[in-house]
């Protein structure tokens, strides 16, 4: 991708990590941030210490607070804003984006009020067909990507041409990229796994052990599939990198913000205090609200989501929530599996 230009909006940990990948692949990359102090640090010191301490950024990477300057000549626009800010950032960038530019997003959540997926939000604000939007997802901690740890992700688009273009931008010797046409499945899996990671953090924080967490991940995958199927996803997506792969890494690693937040809640810390101490967006919190509403809208059972909603927003003690999950009525596993994962 030598000679290509890329813009990354915004300069959080994941956006910066993907900017590093693009720069190392030969792109001239501009990171956009509203924070002038952060921009100056990136340009002067080659660091983004708040999000990725001890990492020296490539020379091909620069930063700016001017969104027009960032995107106007870019061949690739990567939207790495939190889901809560995606529409605002896209609206700011839209007037300056070239029609030929490839638009990719790396967010993992739903829009809070509309319950829309991020590709739908981008399509509306950029006035493009949703088929043109690409999503990048999969098991990929930013802290490991910037250290060139072997990582494998998925780029999904209804347009195979767009997916392959994104694949060409990102793929290299340590960052393997697969394509997938199932945008709905990839976006649903990316969002809901953060809820299950909050639950995994709660379970670990309560000292419930590996047995409990294994059950939580397994039943969590069933919830992802249940909602995804109702929304029109391909169930095979949930058996792949964007599904079970991302679920495992997010639920088992201390790199995971959602896992850490859940662990802190289990120790009796109030949600507001957890978010204050984290100092970064914990997507699983807002996603729990959205998924709770989506479950009602699509009339699907999501008991883990329901219990986490009660913990986060209704003051339910975490231990009681886990006990209530374990005390649910008896059922037959193979029947549930066939219902959730069989032919639709």
Single out the catalytic residue among 5, 108, 116, 193: 193
Tell me if residue 155 falls in helix, strand or coil. Answer: strand
193 belongs to the catalytic site: yes
Starting at the edge strand found earlier in the chain, the sheet holding 76-79 runs 61-64, 28-32, 5-9, 76-79, 102-105, 134-137, 151-156, 175-180
Cα(21)–Cα(31) distance, integer angstroms = 13
Q: Helices in 84-208 by DSSP H: which ranges?
A: 86-93, 118-126, 142-145, 160-170, 183-205
Cα(228)–Cα(235) distance, integer angstroms = 7
Tokens encoding 69: 């300057």
Determine if the peptide bond prior to 342 is cis (ω within 30°): no
One DSSP character per residue, 117-131 reads BHHHHHHHHHT--GG
Q: What is the phi/psi pair of residue 238, to 5°?
A: -75, -15
Cα(7)–Cα(12) distance, integer angstroms = 13
Annotated catalytic residues are 193
């Amino acid at each position: 991708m030598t000679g290509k230009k890329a813009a990354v909006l915004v300069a959080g940990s994941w956006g910066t990590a993907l900017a590093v990948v693009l720069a190392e692949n030969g792109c001239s990359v501009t990171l956009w941030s509203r924070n002038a102090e952060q921009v100056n640090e990136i340009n002067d010191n080659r660091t983004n210490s708040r999000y990725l301490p001890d990492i020296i950024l490539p020379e091909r990477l620069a930063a700016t607070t001017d969104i027009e300057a960032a995107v106007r000549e870019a061949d690739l626009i990567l939207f790495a804003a939190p889901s809560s800010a995606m529409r605002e950032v896209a609206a700011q960038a839209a007037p300056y984006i070239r029609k030929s530019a490839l638009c990719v997003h790396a967010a993992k959540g739903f829009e809070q009020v509309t319950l829309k997926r991020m590709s739908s939000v981008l399509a509306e604000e950029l006035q493009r067909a949703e088929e043109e939007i690409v999503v990048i997802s999969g098991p990929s901690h930013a802290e490991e990507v910037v250290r060139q740890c072997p990582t494998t992700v998925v780029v999904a688009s209804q347009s195979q041409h767009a997916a392959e273009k994104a694949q060409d931008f990102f793929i290299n010797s340590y960052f393997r990229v697969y394509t997938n046409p199932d945008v709905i499945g990839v976006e649903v899996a990316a969002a809901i796994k953060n809820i299950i990671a909050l639950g995994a953090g709660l379970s670990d924080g309560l000292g419930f052990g590996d047995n409990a967490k294994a059950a939580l991940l397994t039943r969590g995958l069933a919830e992802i599939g249940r909602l995804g199927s109702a929304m029109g996803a391909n169930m095979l997506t949930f058996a792949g990198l964007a599904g079970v792969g991302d679920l495992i890494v997010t639920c088992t690693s201390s790199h995971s913000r959602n896992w850490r937040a859940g662990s802190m809640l289990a120790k009796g810390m109030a949600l507001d205090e957890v978010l204050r101490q984290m100092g970064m967006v914990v997507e699983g919190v807002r996603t729990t609200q959205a998924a709770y509403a989506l479950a009602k809208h699509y009339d699907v059972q999501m008991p883990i989501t329901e219990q986490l909603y009660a913990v986060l927003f209704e003051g339910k003690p975490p231990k009681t929530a886990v006990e209530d999950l374990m005390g649910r009525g008896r059922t037959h596993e193979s029947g549930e599996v066939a219902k959730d994962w069989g032919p639709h």
